Structure formats: structure tokens, C-alpha cells
Amino acid sequence: MNFLRKLLLTTAIVISMSIPAHASDGVAKAIILKGSVTAVNPKTKEETKLKKGSWVQEGFVVKTEPKSFVKFLFIDKSQMNLGPKSEMAISKFPKKDAGIITLMKGSLRSKVTKNYLDNKNKDKSKLFIKTKTAAMGVRGTDFMVTFNPVNENTALVTFSGAVAMAQITENIRNIQVSQAALEKVVSSDKAVIVTKGQFSGVSPGKTSRATTPVKINPGQLESMKSNDGSKEAPDQAAATKAPKKKFRSVIPPGVDAKGFSNKAKVAEQVEKVLGKSATIAVVDKVEKEKAASAENAPPPEGSVNASTGEIAPPAGGYIDVATAQYIAPPAGSVFDAATETYIPPADFGGFNPDTGAYENTNYTLTDDGKFVPTESPDRAPASVDGSGPAPSEGGVDGGGNAPPELAPLDKPIEPEIADDIGGGDDFGGSDAPSDSPADFAGVDQSELDEIVEDAQDTIEETIEDAEDERNEVLNNSTRVRFNINNSN
């Protein structure tokens, strides 16, 4: 009888050791998967093909093939999407400390929950993302990071919340990095805080620190935000070339798009959630925080501080995910006062409206930042690794006899406001438009819809900020009441 028990116990142990990652020891579960995705055991080098529902253990490396994609749900409820032709290692992911993800190639999109672990320390990173050249500390946000192992560029775009980013030095790069070491890096005076709609990057040989965060092209930002990595550009055969639609904004020059929305209506929506007095206090705090952020923001034309190595490239450029490069607007680019960004010329390319991927019909962008004429404009990708999408309706046709030159990150451009952007004299100079329908003559319904959506985004964001403030106030008041009761 004892022999039988020992045999059963031994068999159970052997079976449990042979079973790949499962719910009991895995830290990430594949909840959406497309194409071919594998997990590599770093000790045995054994590869396991993942499927929906598979668990991945700490320390494993995940690889995706072309046209493949995987979305993970981690044990802390955070989500992470690994794009096509990408590799990442789940370096560390303890239950009671910040995880460390190492991106070795490609791009990942992450949505990190806002519980800030269980220690209530909002100044401590919940998750670290590390590449060969950069470290990022995440404190509850939605962002995308890309790493190119050829040029060793790291590019970061934040869709909501904030991410701390810093360039990694050689001595940190070559050691086993801990949470404490990474926290020190992203909390240093050389780190930058990348907030909603901003880009920051690291380019070895060109930058000595992460670039000062700047706005990217607003259209590309929205397309990238709506693409979780599962969307792909249309097939080249199905792609059609068409002239890019010229956008005519109904917002007067110099007026911020969000400020142009009906603030009274925004306050009214927030008031329904919080009440009048709380709304006034919360909105006032939010406005002050936004004003402080704007005060520290670099000018849209860019800036350079030679003594500190701080570089802010011109705002409004495109991001090429395939090469992890920022296509900065060059000198002579038109300035859009409504969005406070520059508009790159047509031969600098555009983006796919469905995926947000950078596109250029006539030129290929190489890993070292050169535009090379494509052999066949009808079938050419936007970047040399072949992963760039074919031109689409949202792309911009190239032009000119000579290839353009990628604008250097450390060369600010002179502001040049275009009178024809934002409606110009149609609105009587800088005065706000009246309620007369004549003011919107010739404006497409789709353009008006964009303004309405923009205003709705403002309402939702303000309500979210307000709810966070309310919860914090309620938590504080609860603690106060509890302490008073205990003192009796």
C-alpha cells in the first residue's frame, strides 16, 4: 500500500514538472492571440507555441512572428499587447513588487491599472519597461514603446497617464537590474515625464538623455491610440492612392481645440457626478495642474540646452514604429496654431488612418535616418525592414526630385503661422465664431463630428479626474472619522 502511494506521488510530481506554465505558476495569461506566438524557456531554450488561455512564467521570453499578435493579462490585472515581429522577456514579475519587462525588439502596448500596487505610494513605479538603451517607470497609464535593435532607438508615446523615461548608461546596461536600480534611474534629474499625446525618445549617438516630451501629429496619435496592435495595414494590392484630404478646422487660429469646446457644458456634466461645490474645487485644481504643465512645456518649434543636453524636437512629427524614429517637421513647415504643432511637408510622408503606421509613398526611411527613393512607389514599404504598410487613402504622396533629409532632433525651427489653417478671416480674426450657421458653410459633417468628439473627450477626461479627486477626498474623510471614533 505504501509502495502504491509512493508511486502515485512520484508520478504526480513528474507530471507537474513536465506541464508548461499554468495558472498556479504563470504570471501572464494570453487572452487574445493571432498568428504564431512562442514562449522560450531561458534555461532549456525550449520553445512552446502559445494559444489562447496559455500561461507564461516569469523569466520566459515571448516572440511573435510577422502578422502575429498577443494580448496578455497579468496577475495584477494589467494588460500588455506585443505587436508583430517583436520579442519581450518577463524579466521579473513578483506579486508584491513592480514587474520588469524587457523589450528586445519591436513594440508593445500596455495598459497598467491604477491601484499603484497595495502600498498606496503614487510616486513609486508599478511597472518597469526596459530596453537596451532606455528605462521607463509606469504609474498607471496607457502607452506604447518601440525598440529597434539595429539603431538601438527607443521611442515612447503616451496615450493617457504618465510614464517616466530615462536613457540607460553603459554601466547599468551590463548588470542584472533590480527594481530599486530602475526606480533610481527613472527618478533621476535626467528622467522626463511623458504625458498624454507626447513622445520622447532615446537615440544613442544623437542624444545623451531622453528627449524632452513633445506632441506628435494629432491625427497619427488618434489612429495609434485606437490600434491595440491587432489591426494591420491593408494589403498592398488592395491599397489605393488618393490625394490626402485637406483639413479645414472650424476652430479659429490661436484657440486651443479643447478650450474651444463648451466649458459650461463640461462643468454641467461633471456637476451631475460630484455636485456644484466639489465641481468648482476639482475643475480649479485640474486647470491649475494643466497650466503648470503647459508652463514647463517646450516651445512647439523645439529647443536645445547645450549645457544639460536637453533636446526638444519640433512638435507635430510622425513616429515610424518600424525603425523607432521620430520624423520631426523640418524648417519651413507650416504651424497650426489650433493644435500648436507643425505640419511636415508631403514628401516627409504620412500615416495609415486605420493603424497609425507611418507611410511614405515615394521614399523608404532607413534605420540610420535616410530617405531613399523606392524602386516601385506602388508597392514600396515605408521602412526598409519590409514591415511598413503600403500607401493608403490616409497616406501622403511624396514629391520632389531629391529625397528629403530627416530633420535633426536638435535643430529648432522658426515659427510660421499659416493664415489658411483654422479658417482665417472666416471667423473675423481671433474672435470666437458666432452661432450663425453661415460660419460653418463649406465644412464637412465629418469635421464637425471631430469637434464634437473632441469636446466629448474633454468631458470624459474631466469626469475621470473629478472622480479620482472625489475618491481621494472620501478616503481621507473616512480615515479622519475612523481616527476620531477610535480616540473616544
pLDDT digits (tens, 9 = 90+) for 418-461: 444 444 333 333 343 444 444 444 445 555 555 555 555 666 66
Residue found under cell 495584477: 76
372-386, 403-417, 472-486: the lowest-pLDDT one? 472-486
- pLDDT, one tens digit per residue, over 22-77 is 455 799 999 999 999 999 999 999 999 999 999 999 999 999 999 999 999 999 88
Burial of 236: CB neighbours in 10 Å, binned 0-12, 13-18, 19+: middle
Rounded distance between C-alpha atoms, residue 457 and residue 223, angstroms = 15
The pLDDT score that the predictor gives to residue 297 is 78
Rounded distance between C-alpha atoms, residue 263 and residue 280, angstroms = 12
How are beta strands 61-64 and 55-57 bridged, if at all? unpaired
pTM greater than 0.75 (yes/no):
no
Most confident of 156-160, 247-251, 382-386, 445-449: 156-160
Distance of CA 365 to the CA centre of its chain: 21
The pLDDT score that the predictor gives to residue 342 is 95
392 with 422: CB under 8 angstroms?
A: no
Rounded distance between C-alpha atoms, residue 56 and residue 93, angstroms = 11
State phi, psi for 434 to the nearest 5 degrees.
-85, 180
Cell of 233: 495595414
How are beta strands 198-202 and 214-215 bridged, if at all? antiparallel
Mean pLDDT of 115-126: 59
Rounded distance between C-alpha atoms, residue 54 and residue 52, angstroms = 6
- pLDDT tops 80 at residue 292: no
Average pLDDT of the residues of the chain: 75
Most confident of 329-343, 389-403, 408-422: 329-343
147-161, 241-255, 260-274: the lowest-pLDDT one? 241-255
Mean pLDDT of 118-129: 71
- pLDDT, one tens digit per residue, over 162-204 is 999 999 987 676 666 788 889 999 999 999 999 999 999 999 9
Please say whether the dihedral angle defined by the alpha carbons of residues 145, 149, 150 and 154, taken in this order, is positive or negative.
Answer: positive
All domains of the chain, ordered by start, with CATH?
26-211 (2.60.120.1440), 257-451 (no CATH)
Residue found under cell 514599404: 381
- pLDDT tops 60 at residue 156: yes
The pLDDT score that the predictor gives to residue 163 is 95
166 with 191: CB under 8 angstroms?
A: yes
